[in-house]
Amino acid sequence: HLFQSENWTPKMFASGEEPIYEKIIFNDNEIGHFLIIKKKINFLPFYKMKITFGPSINYNSIANVDFTVNFIKGLAKKHKSISIQIHPFTWGNKNNEINSVFLKSGFKKVPYYIYEATMLIDLRKSVEEIFKKFENRGKEAVRQSERRGITANKVNITKETFDQFYK
Q: Mind listing the pLDDT tens digit for each residue in 6-16? A: 444 444 555 67
| Cα 1 to Cα 165: distance, rounded to the nearest angstrom | 32
Residues 6 or more apart whose Cβ sits within 8 Å of residue 67: 24, 26, 31
pTM for this model (two decimals): 0.57
Given a cut of 60, is residue 112 above it in pLDDT?
no
CA distance readout (Å), 54 to 13, 18, 39, 117, 167:
17, 17, 18, 22, 24
Element (H, E) at 137: helix 136-147
What band does 74 get if pLDDT is binned at 50, 70 and 90?
very high
**Taking the CA of residue 149 as centre, how many other CA atoms within 13 Å lie in the half-sphere pointing to its CB?**
0
Q: What are the tens digits of pLDDT across the range 1-43?
A: 334 444 444 445 556 788 888 889 999 988 888 888 898 888 8
What crossing angle do the helices spanning 62-78 and 96-104 adopt, rounded to 10°?
Answer: 20
Average pLDDT, rounded, for the chain: 77
- Greater confidence (167 vs 102) lies with 102
Count other Cβ atoms within 10 Å, centred on residue 138.
14
56-62 mean pLDDT = 80
Which of residues 105 and 166 earns the better pLDDT score? 105
Phi-psi label, residue 125: left if phi above 0, alpha if psi -120 to 50, beta otherwise: beta
Give the model's pLDDT for residue 88: 62
Mean pLDDT score, 108-119: 58
Res. 57: pLDDT tops 90: no
Question: Can you name the residues that pair with 39 across neighbouring β-strands?
Answer: 17, 48
